[in-house]
Chains A and B, each alone.
Chain A
Amino acid sequence: MAFEFRYLTAAIALVIGLTGAAHADQLADIRKAGVLRAAVFDSNPPFGLVDEKTHNLVGYDIDFAKAFADKIGVKLELVPTNPANRIPLLTSGKADLIVADITITPERATVIDFSTPYFVTGQQFLVPTGSPDKLDGYATARIGAVKGTTGEQALKTRFPQARVLSYDDVPLALASLRNGTVQAITQDSEILAGLLAAAPDKSKYKLLPELLSKEEIGIGVKKNETALLAEVNKILVSLEQDGQAGQIFDRWFGKGSKAPETRNFKITAQ
């Protein structure tokens, strides 16, 4: 079902994209309308979620969307979306920007343009506290991964000498790490951080900051809207320089958050 929807989505995006009139300049349209419409998640913490008390949309992405509207000097309208609808929302003109944890991939880049990355995530290693800090220290190790994940693939590519043991889920992989069957386990950093936070024996393990594979998250902009894309990039870089981007990160992934992470990236001009 999910797959069919993706095709359907792509087909609709294509049809609407072809019939939709090419705007001269979307940035000018946004300024004229006085509203920036950003497609954001409503069900994907901590990127986009509905706050329990205020019932407002909040999250890492929403803070960036607010910053864009502020800097452009217009009001912000949030368009809640799920992953499958993100690109059609942009191509059909229902949203001006995708600010919804969208990973930059070459395939997607043929349909929409991406800004410079404003979030970087990827596969991390969870290892016993006394183990080496560098990923290369595990080139010949026994490493646990979860079946069918990108992490399993990435391990085989990066460390062909390592023995990859595949598990059905992460808790099972952690159990193997506990009893010493594997020397490290790998998974998305958010998942590992959450797993570690919930583990009763968390002091015995550490997360390696180095990433096995990198996923870069960007802002989605309609194809060939060069002025808007340039403005988004300019704002992203300025948010990094004045420290706001760091503050937003700390709010959602910092020490006070459920699964704290280290910010091992900086937003830079492309």
Chain B
Amino acid sequence: MGLDFTVVLRNLDYLLWGRLTDGELGGLLLTVVMAVSAGILSLALGIALAMVAWRCQASRKLLFLWAELIRGIPLIFVIFWLYFLVPALFGGGIPNALSVILALAWFSSAAIMHSVLAGLQSLPRSQYEAGIASGLAEHQVLCWILLPQALRNLIPSFVGLFASLIKDTSLAFIVNVPELTTVASQVNNRTQLFPTEIFLSIAAMYFVLCGVLSLAARAVCGPSSR
């Protein structure tokens, strides 16, 4: 069976940016936008929660329980619920893509929190003690001495989490948000004859996206990073 990739070329603009010319983001571009937004949100939330957990023992149990709760639910359910619940709670004005971004961010923030906390705890105790001894307050030690070192060590772990996040955006197809997987199945169901060609190309696009991320991270960190 010969493969005929002309179907991908014919629909390439739709697969890459959807209905952008009509003001509606879609395709690979929407996948990137969703992954980046969810990545930034979850990074901010995860680091903030890790700082709280590090400073306040009492909150730690509660935060761990919360993280456990998130881990125990399949992401696709969270996406599904937020799709119907966010508009029900805040009115219908929230774009569907945003509800999926929130689901992804919420989900990833638990993993980031655990990573960052582990990163902080793995630093030598002397770093903390030296900071306190030089007269810094505890929060200053955390922000200026511990976090910068921990985050640098955690970059490889973040790259892994972010690659998962990119691939997890494909779950948005369950609520018809027109990201890469959704538009690909739209094209496939219209043409019906070229599923292999279409989905192989989509897989290649995800692979390239994740590969670029890894290369970029390596370039940023330099060969010294573990």
B-binding residues in A (CB < 8 A): 5, 8, 12, 16, 19-20, 42-45, 49-50, 52, 55-56, 80-82, 85, 88, 92-94
Main secondary structure of the interface of A (DSSP, over half): mixed
Cα of A138 to Cα of B149 in the assembled complex, Å = 81
Known A55-B14, A56-B19; further 10 A-B contacts with Cβ < 8 A = A8-B80, A20-B88, A43-B189, A49-B186, A49-B190, A50-B186, A50-B190, A52-B14, A55-B22, A56-B22
Interface 1/0s, chain B 70-94, versus A by CB < 8 A?
Answer: 0000000100110011011000100
* A–B complex contacts, Cβ < 8 Å, 13 sampled: A5-B80, A20-B88, A43-B186, A43-B189, A45-B190, A50-B14, A52-B10, A52-B190, A56-B19, A81-B176, A85-B174, A94-B87, A94-B92
Smallest distance from the beta carbon of A129 to chain B beta carbons, Å? 28
When the two chains form their complex, are residues B88 and A93 in contact, meaning their CB atoms are under 8 A apart? yes
One of A8, A44, A82, A93 near B92 (C-beta < 8 A): A93
Which chain A residues border B163 with CB–CB below 8 Å? none
Q: Does B196 contact A (CB under 8 A)?
A: no
**Nearest A residue to B77, CB-CB:** A8
When the two chains form their complex, are residues B185 and A16 in contact, meaning their CB atoms are under 8 A apart? no
Cα of A34 to Cα of B18 in the assembled complex, Å = 26
When the two chains form their complex, are residues A80 and B87 in contact, meaning their CB atoms are under 8 A apart? no
When the two chains form their complex, are residues B189 and A45 in contact, meaning their CB atoms are under 8 A apart? yes
Which chain B residues border A52 with CB–CB below 8 Å? 10-11, 14, 187, 190
One of B22, B85, B176 near A42 (C-beta < 8 A): B176
When the two chains form their complex, are residues B87 and A93 in contact, meaning their CB atoms are under 8 A apart? yes
When the two chains form their complex, are residues A85 and B189 in contact, meaning their CB atoms are under 8 A apart? no
- Report, nearest first, the 5 A-B pairs whose CB atoms are least far apart: A43-B189, A80-B176, A50-B186, A92-B84, A55-B19
Cα of A122 to Cα of B1 in the assembled complex, Å = 34
When the two chains form their complex, are residues B176 and A82 in contact, meaning their CB atoms are under 8 A apart? yes
Q: Does B178 contact A (CB under 8 A)?
A: yes
**Nearest A residue to B87, CB-CB:** A94
Given contacts A49-B190, A50-B190, A92-B88, contact A43 B14 (CB under 8 A): no
Cα of A88 to Cα of B11 in the assembled complex, Å = 31
Interface 1/0s, chain B 20-46, versus A by CB < 8 A?
Answer: 001000000000000000000000000
**Nearest B residue to A82, CB-CB:** B176
Which chain B residues border A12 with CB–CB below 8 Å? 80-81, 84
Q: Which residues of chain B from 81 to 116 have a CB within 8 Å of any chain A CB?
A: 81, 84-85, 87-88, 92
B contact residues, total (Cβ < 8 Å): 25
One of B18, B22, B85, B185 near A43 (C-beta < 8 A): B185
Which chain A residues border B182 with CB–CB below 8 Å? 42
Q: Does B175 contact A (CB under 8 A)?
A: yes
One of A8, A16, A45 near B88 (C-beta < 8 A): A16
Cα of A44 to Cα of B190 in the assembled complex, Å = 7
Cα of A232 to Cα of B87 in the assembled complex, Å = 25
**Nearest B residue to A42, CB-CB:** B186
When the two chains form their complex, are residues B176 and A85 in contact, meaning their CB atoms are under 8 A apart? yes
Which chain B residues border A56 with CB–CB below 8 Å? 19, 22
When the two chains form their complex, are residues A80 and B178 in contact, meaning their CB atoms are under 8 A apart? yes
One of B10, B11, B77, B189 near A44 (C-beta < 8 A): B189
Which chain B residues border A49 with CB–CB below 8 Å? 186, 189-190
Which chain A residues border B189 with CB–CB below 8 Å? 43-45, 49
**Nearest B residue to A50, CB-CB:** B186
Which chain A residues border B183 with CB–CB below 8 Å? 50
Smallest distance from the beta carbon of B199 to chain A beta carbons, Å? 14
When the two chains form their complex, are residues B88 and A85 in contact, meaning their CB atoms are under 8 A apart? no
When the two chains form their complex, are residues A88 and B190 in contact, meaning their CB atoms are under 8 A apart? no
Cα of A240 to Cα of B77 in the assembled complex, Å = 42
One of A42, A45, A80, A88 near B84 (C-beta < 8 A): A88
Smallest distance from the beta carbon of A77 to chain B beta carbons, Å? 10
Given contacts A55-B18, A80-B178, A85-B176, contact A94 B190 (CB under 8 A): no
**Nearest B residue to A19, CB-CB:** B88
When the two chains form their complex, are residues B187 and A92 in contact, meaning their CB atoms are under 8 A apart? no
Cα of A42 to Cα of B176 in the assembled complex, Å = 8
Cα of A8 to Cα of B22 in the assembled complex, Å = 34
Which chain B residues border A82 with CB–CB below 8 Å? 174, 176
Which chain A residues border B22 with CB–CB below 8 Å? 55-56
Cα of A20 to Cα of B89 in the assembled complex, Å = 10
Cα of A250 to Cα of B183 in the assembled complex, Å = 27
Which chain A residues border B187 with CB–CB below 8 Å? 50, 52
Q: Which residues of chain B from 160 to 187 have a CB within 8 Å of any chain A CB?
A: 174-176, 178, 182-183, 185-187
